[in-house]
Amino acid sequence: MDMHDKKRIKVLLAKSDQDAHDRGIRYMAEILQDAGMEVIFIRYRICDQVARVALEEDVDVIGLSFYSSGYSYDVPVVLKQLKEKGKAVKVVIGGIIPSDEVPKLMEMGVSGVFGPDTPTQEVIKCITA
């Protein structure tokens, strides 16, 4: 991914309407803004909206948050749609993701999976790497 030092990193944070508990993603929105990034936060009804917004807003990074099992359906769809549109975006996941799911998600092309106890610096490091 082409991310010049001087360019402000643009992040789309997204959480499904069919999900609950937004404490984590709202906290991350503040942390990423404080780290100098531009943050857009949406709640989506169906996951097709994520890739669409990512293209419209021309973001560098997508952060998806799940407290529910919705990741199992949404993540592959988002990755596939981004690929179809030829959009190179780094995708990171946060929330309650069972640890044995992490290797599968990484293999699919996700750049990082973070839980409630992950230090935020690790998330920033992953985004800016």
Partner 1 sequence: MFTKKVLEKTTEMLKEWQERVSSAEGAEIKDAATASGIPLKPVYTPRDIEDTDYEDISIPGQFPYTRGFRHLPYTNDGWMMRQPVALGSSKDTRERMEYLERLGWRLFIGQEEENELFIQNVALDIPSQQGYDPDAPEARGRVGQDGMSLSTMWDLDDFYEGRDLERTEIFYASPDGQLPCLAQFLVYAEKRGVPWEKLRFKVSNLWYHSWYWDAAGYPPKHALKLGPEMISFFLKGFPHAQVASVTGYNPGEAGATPVQEVAFTLATAMFITEECVKVGLNPDDFVPRFYGHDHTNLDLFETVAKFRAKRRMWAKIFRDKFGCQKPESLRLRNFPQTGGSLLHRNEPENNIIRVAIMALAQVLAGADGVWAASYDECLNIPSQKAAQIALRTSQMLFYETNIANVIDPLGGSYYVEWMTNRVEGEAQKLLDEIEKRGGYLKCWESGWFRSQLSKEARRWQESIEKGERVVVGVNKFVVDEEDHSPMFRVSQDVEKERIERVIAFRAQRDNEKTTAALDALRAAVERMKNEWPESCGQVMPVMVDAFRAQCTIGEAQGILKDVLGYGYTGHG
Chain positions contacting partner 1, by CB under 8 A: 15, 17-23, 26-27, 30, 43, 45-46, 67-74, 96, 98-100, 115-117, 119-120
To partner 1, the closest distance from the beta carbon of 100 in angstroms equals: 6
- The smaller minimum CB distance to partner 1, of residues 34 and 58, is found at 34
> Quick check: 53 and 40 in contact, CB under 8 A?
yes
| Least separation in angstroms between CB 126 and partner 1 | 16
Q: Is residue 44 within 8 Å of residue 15, measured between CB atoms?
A: yes
Give me the DSSP letters along 11-24. EEEEEETT----HH
Burial of 4 (0-12, 13-18, 19+ CB in 10 A): exposed
> Judged by CB, which is closer to partner 1: 60, or 95?
95
**89 versus 114: smaller Cβ distance to partner 1:** 114
Shortest gap between Cβ of 17 and partner 1 (angstroms)?
7
- Tell the smallest beta-carbon distance from residue 82 to partner 1 (Å): 18
Q: What is the DSSP string of 36-47?
A: T-EEEEEEESST
